[in-house]
Amino acid sequence: MPVALLFPTCKRAEGGPVRLALLQLNPLVGDVEGNVRALRRAYEQAVQAGARLVCAGELGIPGYPPEDLLLKPAFVTANEQALSGLAELVGSVPLLVGYVERLRHVDPEQWRPIVSDVAGDPLLSNAAAVLRNGGIETVYRKQRLPNYGVFDEARYFYAGRQAVVVDIDGVPVGITVCEDLWGGGGPVERSAEAGASLVININASPYSRGKRAEREYWASRHVRKAGVWLAYVNQVGGQDEVVFDGDSFVMAPDGEVVARGAQFETDCVLVDLALGERGRGEPVSAGVPRAWVPRLNPVAEVYAALVLGTRDYVRKNGFQAALVGLSGGIDSALVATVAADALGPDKVLAVGMPSPWSSPGSIIDSKALVTNLGVGWLELPIQQMMDAFDRVLAEPSAGGEPGVAEENLQSRIRGTLLMTLSNKWGHIVLATGNKSEYAVGYSTLYGDMAGGFAVIKDVPKTLVYELCRWRNAQGAGEVVPRAILDKAPSAELRPNQRDTDSLLPYEMLDPILEAAVEQDRSVADLAAEGYDEADVRDVFRLIDNAEYKRRQAAPGVKITPRAFGKDRRLPITHGWTG
């Protein structure tokens, strides 16, 4: 009986040399049974397509990153039992897949302990198993454990020290895992020294801008030095803040990429390799077109990451629909557009909450956006609630002039309305703040920061404009109205307010923020490059003062090399000013 193809690129083979299948799957952390079902279906399809080796992602059985689930013995046991059950279903075509291995002991000749073995701590490795003929044939343990940015593998795992090379139809194939590829020397070269002519690198590598170039730089260095082919397989999907972009590839010993998978989509990358002597292979097409997916441009990549990250966060956490507060500004316009593309227009409700300071154009522009997107619309004016708060606070506020507190109250009223609707209907609220605002604290706790997911939390304001322009260029007609793109940024919390009343123009601010947040540059560094020192010091002060706000922000999609959250762990209370 024929099996339905999950991936359109997989076609039945007519014979030929070694055929690799690289599976870009979208696992759910902790859903061990569901992940194994997806692996089994994809494996069966790849075998039907003539694959002689099928490769899935890093920790493909438990999902990545499992974080402190690894400290739960039942979780580790379930993942090992799932591996054994999957192995029983694998035939003569081997399946390479990642899992968590519980170590029975630590051999000092084989292991380099990274964490201390205090009482009760599990002894675990980030492992890759070769399944064949109904059993677990061999296991490779990841040697390089990343402990930076969003990674903290040294918290959980012991590092392997041995190369593993397996025979696939007479071809010696080395196995490595993700970080093993990064940096000079190491596991790839050791695999080659052990006789491998092809090295598989299984990954759970998160997306950020420029990541593809970094991956291919290290891959090229290794294959040129070792004289081997490299197959890089990455998972896809959103997991809390991070998004895995797929983008699997096969690289020849001269550094040429000969096959490539889709970005931000599940895929099955098939490629035939007639390896012959080590390092003298040729990609061929014996019944299978050479796998090649054109790359997205840098702005399209970011947009795709936002869509995938939003879709998976909402759906994997069981929400059926989303609420977006529309102000008539560009940030909420982008969030609503991403939400509509991610979930479908019928799953998005835009809520307009005008105050006396909202310009007539803001409501008109919001309604135009709603029409263009086809999402739902609800209008809830907040004048009466503002008046009620004024009456309650009249005595405590006597003698003081209206100011920031009253301005922020408008935002908090809106946040309260959105969260009440969320509580009533079970929809998730999507916060609309961008990275520039979160960086300098130009946001209101329990107001515009309210929500379950902050879609553009890692998107600088200047990039927000680029993304809206890019989205308008796709398909027929504009989505984000021109009036929204052209108007000066404003919170509209007081008459004639502009963001530049409080901040540098974003074209000046964003480069300073990038240098400070993503590159750890100092005030002195930027002053030496020609920036006004007083401006830089003021920006640095705002960044430091807003740390307590960011700690209370919803998670959001990571798209830059360093996002707020796990990527950047600074104390709230400190006295450093440089």
Q: Which residue has the tokens 């940096």?
A: 183
Work out the widest C-alpha separation in the chain, in whole angstroms: 87
Q: Is residue 209 part of a domain?
A: yes
Q: How many domains does the chain have?
A: 2
pTM: 0.92
If asked whether residues 282 and 363 sit together in one domain, one would say no
Mean pLDDT by 10 residues, the chain (578 residues): 34 57 97 97 96 97 95 95 97 97 74 49 89 97 91 89 92 94 90 94 96 94 94 97 96 92 94 64 43 82 98 97 96 98 98 88 93 97 93 83 84 96 98 96 93 98 97 90 86 66 87 95 95 95 95 97 92 85
- Cα–Cα dist 448/491, whole Å: 10
> ∠ CA(324), CA(326), CA(328), 5° rounding?
155
CA 10 to chain centre: 26
Q: Which amino acid is at 255?
A: G
Q: What is the DSSP letter of 374?
A: T
Q: Residue 351: beta bridge partners?
A: 325, 378
Same domain, 252 and 325: no
- Inter-axis angle of helices 73-88 and 32-48, to 10 degrees? 20
Domain presence at residue 38: yes
DSSP3 helix / strand / coil % (the chain, rounded to 5): 35, 20, 45
CATH code, domain carrying 478: 3.40.50.620
Name the phi and psi angles at 274, rounded to 5: -95, 90
pLDDT given at position 290? 45
CA dist list (Å): 428 to 261, 339, 382? 32, 11, 21
From CA 158, how far away is CA 107, in angstroms rounded? 11
Which structural domain, as residue segments, surrounds residue 211? 19-295
Within 10 A of 118 (CB to CB), how many other CB atoms are there?
6
| pLDDT for the residue numbered 218 | 93
Residues 189 and 225 in one domain: yes
In a domain, 472, yes or no: yes
Residue 2 belongs to some domain of the structure: no
CATH, residue 210:
3.60.110.10
Q: Is 357 exposed, middle or buried (0-12, 13-18, 19+ CB in 10 A)?
A: middle
Q: How far apart are CA 57 and CA 434, in angstroms?
A: 32
DSSP class of residue 297? P
Would residue 428 count as lying in a domain? yes
- The first and second tokens of residue 114, run together, are 């990274």
Q: Which residues pair with 250 in a beta bridge?
A: 231, 259
Tell me which amino acid residue 69 is: L
DSSP-derived letter for residue 516 is: I
Identify the pLDDT of residue 15: 37
Positions annotated as catalytic residues are 58, 142, 178
CA neighbours within 13 Å on the CB side: how many for 100?
Answer: 28
